[in-house]
Amino acid sequence: MRDGPHLMQFGFRCPLEEEFTLTPLEGHPKRKSGSPVSAPDPMSTVLSDPNMISDISGWDLDIRQIDRGPMRATAAVRQSASVGILKFNFDRRVHQTGESPQGTITLGIPSRTGLQSWRGKVIDGPSILGFGDGDELCAVSDAGFSGFTVSMSKPETIALADRLQLPLQDSLLSPNAIGLQSAHRTAFLWTLLEHLVSTDSRMTAAQDQEIIAGFLEVVSGAEVYQDKSTLRQRNIAVNKALAIMQDNLRDTLLVAEICDMAGVSWRSLDRGFKERFGIGPKAYLMRLKLSRVRSELIAHGHVRKVSDIANDWGFWHMGQFAKDYARQYGTLPSEVVD
């Protein structure tokens, strides 16, 4: 564990310590306080000692096995400049202790079953778990428990919240269980994270932003922040955004940049696009780019490579491009030129 304040100093006692005498699993590789941890991108592995997760992530963990029998843990790690994703699964009941990555805002999405207690509390219903910035972890989970943790650069998260005019809740900055009204709020994030830890391509700035903005939106909740824009204001914002997209269609354009250039909040722009088109600005921009690619494939696909045309419109990962294209048009891009 890192040097510094611990839970006992703040009057917090992990209830498990009063009931069991536990020791870390043998072979737990300790690392020096504050030492950087790097991991290949992507990385997926099976571990005989779950504490080895500390070696491939920014976490400093001390996981203690309660059940008898051989322990098997799986971990998948993705790391970019702004976001670190950890997917985990433990096949034994364990007492999880440790500290979250420093310099980040770390949040967790637990599986629906298996989390017995978190910081001495029973978690009922769908929740996002906030781990703060280098704060203590104390949880008890049953065999088969799994989930994701996402560590987001603290400065970039604060800056993006300001740009998108989404409130940065105090619950994000300290350990907290953030109850949600519906599990549907996290379904998209879970699907996105699942995709990112299973694909070979490196994470992009747009994906970083999508993850951070997604968590900000989920945690802020409609009950906390209400968009007060008028229909006329949203129509003006949508028209500005459409012009910006058209002028920058061959570039990699992030929704936050569109919001900045249009002078509108993310919520207002998203609401305006869904009112007019039934989809958000990101989805609209994707489909607009795909339509331009399709037009060029039909006109010039017999003399130009599919990959070259896709690259011209900002699609660089051909596998993902083919999936997006097929999802939109029901056919692969290569079939257009055959």
CA nearest neighbour of 107 among 4, 181, 216 = 216
What is the rounded CA–CA span in Å between residue 124 and residue 112? Answer: 10
Beta-strand relationship, 136-141 and 115-118: antiparallel
Percentage of the chain beyond pLDDT 70 is: 82
Rounded to whole angstroms, what are the CA distances from 108 to 14, 91, 248, 257, 263?
Answer: 19, 19, 35, 27, 32
State the pLDDT at residue 153.
93
Confidence of residue 33 (pLDDT cuts 50, 70, 90): very low
Taking residue 129's Cβ as centre, other Cβ atoms within 10 Å add up to: 21
Instruction: Give the pLDDT confidence score for residue 204 in this predicted structure.
Output: 80
pLDDT at 145: 93
pTM of the prediction?
0.65
pLDDT-based confidence at 163, cuts 50/70/90?
confident
pLDDT of residue 26: 35
Model confidence at 221, in pLDDT bands (50, 70, 90)? low
Q: What is the dihedral of CA 65, 67, 72, 76, to 10 degrees?
A: -60
Composition of the chain by helix, strand, coil, percent to 5: 40, 20, 40
